[in-house]
Structure 1
Amino acid sequence: MLYKSIISHQRKREKTPYYLAFTINYTYGRWLNRRLIKKLGTCEYIERNLNVLITGTASGRRAYLACALGTVAWCHDYPTSFIHLSDYLIDIALARQENTCHKILKKYTNTKLLIIDERLLVSQNE
């Protein structure tokens, strides 16, 4: 029972809108807008059915921020999924071949937040 109480307390603490803002490193040169990150931490964009596109240089910074947004959404009890774009495209192609597009659409629309990562789609040398 104590374990459930601790987990419940942690989840309540994590549901605060500024949880995301406090977990991100804002050191010089990262060019992150603290106010925007705090706003994203409220998950209002999910309720308003808005998309978030994270752009920038390579090195995993985009994926880190996307995973942070996914973690906060999960803490707010939103069903959240993460997939690499290459895997998503393969799933769609196979569904077309097998005439099961409705199943694959249901799979990806059952989540409130779907994070699609394009990492490793293009060779690092290109």
Structure 2
Amino acid sequence: MDASMLKNLRNLKLSGVIKTLEIRNEQAIKEKLSYIEFLELLIDDEISSRKENSYKKRTQKAHFPAFKTLEEYDFNFQSSLNRQEIYNLATCEYICKKENIVFIGPPGTGKTHLAISLGIKALQQGYKVLFTTVSEMMNILFESKADNSYHQIIKSLNIIYLQTY
């Protein structure tokens, strides 16, 4: 790949193509791919790269205190929990319906684990998530009232809000 092409790919923000161009070119030569097939591979690589980068950025911005998956949750520990209901929540249908989820219970019952795991499921489906405590959120909102950024904060919070009590 020459410097001019690399510069053009960078200007077009095609980092996924940059990563795989040489490998895909070798593949195209070996497998005698058509120009269209070669281009399709590069486009697929770019899409995959963007999805992966988006997921990584959204995961960092979610501020999860730990990485906990639904598959790791021990439903035997909390026998009163309806497993099917939790798995239904993992489809993220409640987001489309604009419904809220609140986990209430004593410490150590798995509320945070479930909130994080549902947040991760939402991230995997392309949603933005913010994990925070109620007190942190209240502080942010009170401070935003003082500096007149309240409406901007509310607008930026047009994301899934996970909290536990």
Asked if Structure 1 and Structure 2 have the same fold, meaning a TM-score greater than 0.5 normalized by the shorter chain, the answer is yes
Greater fraction of residues in helix: 2
4+ residue stretches of structure 1 with deviation over 3 A?
20-23
Match of residue 87 from structure 2: 38
Match of residue 86 from structure 1: 135
Match of residue 49 from structure 1: 98
Identity in percent: 24
Counterpart CA distance in 1 for 2:155 and 2:91 is 26
Deviation at 1:117, TM superposition (A): 3.8
Q: Deviations over 1:31-51 (max 9, x none)?
A: 221110111111111111111
Comparing 82-91 and 26-35, the one that deviates more: 26-35
Counterpart CA distance in 2 for 1:22 and 1:91 is 33
Counterpart CA distance in 1 for 2:85 and 2:141 is 33
Q: Is the 8 A contact 1:82 1:117 kept in 2?
A: no
CA RMSD of aligned residues (A): 2.8
- 2:161 corresponds to which letter in structure 1? L
Counterpart CA distance in 1 for 2:104 and 2:164 is 11
Q: Is the 8 A contact 1:43 1:73 kept in 2?
A: yes
Deviation at 1:83, TM superposition (A): 1.3
Counterpart CA distance in 1 for 2:87 and 2:79 is 16
Q: Is the 8 A contact 1:21 1:34 kept in 2?
A: no
Distance 1:28 1:63, change over 3 A: closer
Point out where structure 1 has 5 or more consecutive residues left out of the alignment: 12-19, 119-126
Greater fraction of residues in strand: 1
Count of matched residue positions in the alignment of Structure 1 and Structure 2: 105
Larger-gyration structure (1/2):
2
Match of residue 71 from structure 1: 120
- 2:153 corresponds to which letter in structure 1? I
Match of residue 116 from structure 1: 163
Secondary structure of the structure 2 residue equivalent to 1:114: strand
Q: Deviations over 1:59-105 (max 9, x none)?
A: 26111110010001101111111111111111111111112211211
Q: Is the 8 A contact 2:78 2:109 kept in 1?
A: no
Point out where structure 2 has 5 or more consecutive residues left out of the alignment: 1-19, 24-47, 56-68
Match of residue 32 from structure 2: none
